[in-house]
Amino acid sequence: MRGLLPEDVTFPRTAAAPWAPATGTAQGAALLLTSVTVMLGEPFNYASLYDGRLVQNMVPVRGMEFTQTSQSSVGMLDWHCEDSFRDDRCDYAGLLCLRGDGSAASRYAQAKDVRLAPETVAVLREPRFHVRPDPAHVLPGQTPLRRLPILSGSKSAPEIAYDMHHLAPIDDADAEAAGALRDLAECLNKVAISHVMERGDLLIFDNKRVVHARTPFDARFDGTDRWLMRTMICGSALTFRRWGQRIPV
């Protein structure tokens, strides 16, 4: 969707951290984001992520330029789904742009567009992989690595769980699984679509069927940097209640 933010509204300086509370017109933007995304289900966050804030700022943070988190900037944020390390990851994520940056392209690839040899797909559909926790989470103690297949579900609308940096074959010696991951990474680049987010753009993606990434951009840390707000959505109120509190601390 485009043009969600009225042109005569001015926003404060770009938030300095993902967990910074939204005030004034920025709070209006956060309410707009939740008002639209609530139509898809229950907006939520994890207790362990960015202080558990329902609406988080996707902003560059000094010292985090090259991390694989939303706080990165000069470094590429590589292909991932939100929270692939969790069974209770969101069904959808919504990103509202308050301040764009012409060099930062959001990239998306749909699992249904992936074209791979049938043998490779068969390997990716087996639970031969594990994924480490996302470094943006502050977790209580050691989280066990989740075992998972990369692809699952129907052929016509396959699901994907993917994180380029935190995913590996369970068995280090499993060359077939490692090869399948390499083929998949190559294919994602081929089927990717790009979109440079502009002020007022709201992008909602299916986190179970789409992987996403963001290209590098320069951060100035002077209050004028790129600023997106994000919320994650659980697609059904019933499922939301079944999961209960996500990562109790």
Ligand X SMILES: O=C(O)CCC(=O)C(=O)O
Residue of 106, 110, 207, 231 that binds ligand X (CB under 6 A): 106
Q: What is the dihedral of CA 207, 211, 89, 91, to 10 degrees?
A: 10
CB of 77 to ligand X, least distance (A): 6
Q: Which is nearer to ligand X, 70 or 120 (CB)?
A: 70
Residue of 89, 128, 214, 246 that binds ligand X (CB under 6 A): 214
59: which residues sit within 8 A by CB, 6+ positions away? 14, 15, 16, 17, 18, 70, 71, 225, 226, 227, 228
Q: Count of residues for the chain?
A: 249
Element spanning 108, H or E: strand 105-110
CB of 226 to ligand X, least distance (A): 7
Q: Which is nearer to ligand X, 77 or 180 (CB)?
A: 77
Counting contacts by CB under 6 A, is residue 58 touching ligand X?
A: yes
What string marks each residue from 166 to 205 as x (binds ligand X by CB under 6 A) or -?
Answer: ----------------------------------------
CB of 6 to ligand X, least distance (A): 23
Site for ligand X in 224-243 (CB under 6 A): 228
**Residues 177 and 123 sit within 8 Å (Cβ to Cβ):** yes
Reduced to 3 states (helix: H, G, I; strand: E, B; else coil), residue 80 is strand
Q: Which is nearer to ligand X, 121 or 131 (CB)?
A: 131
Q: Tokens in use for 166?
A: 């935190």
Q: Which is nearer to ligand X, 90 or 181 (CB)?
A: 90
Q: Which is nearer to ligand X, 103 or 245 (CB)?
A: 103
| CA 72 to mean position of chain CA atoms | 13
Q: Which is nearer to ligand X, 86 or 212 (CB)?
A: 212
CB of 208 to ligand X, least distance (A): 15
Residue of 77, 124, 148, 233 that binds ligand X (CB under 6 A): 77
Q: Give CA separation, 156 vs 122, 128, 161, in Å.
A: 15, 22, 16
CB of 37 to ligand X, least distance (A): 15
Q: Which is nearer to ligand X, 32 or 93 (CB)?
A: 93
Number of residues lying near ligand X (CB under 6 A): 8
Q: Give CA separation, 211 vs 35, 92, 184, 193, 222, in Å.
A: 24, 11, 11, 11, 31
Q: How far apart are CA 62 and CA 240, in angstroms?
A: 34
Q: How far apart are CA 49 and CA 86, in angstroms?
A: 13
Residues forming the site for ligand X (CB under 6 A): 58, 70, 77, 82, 106, 212, 214, 228
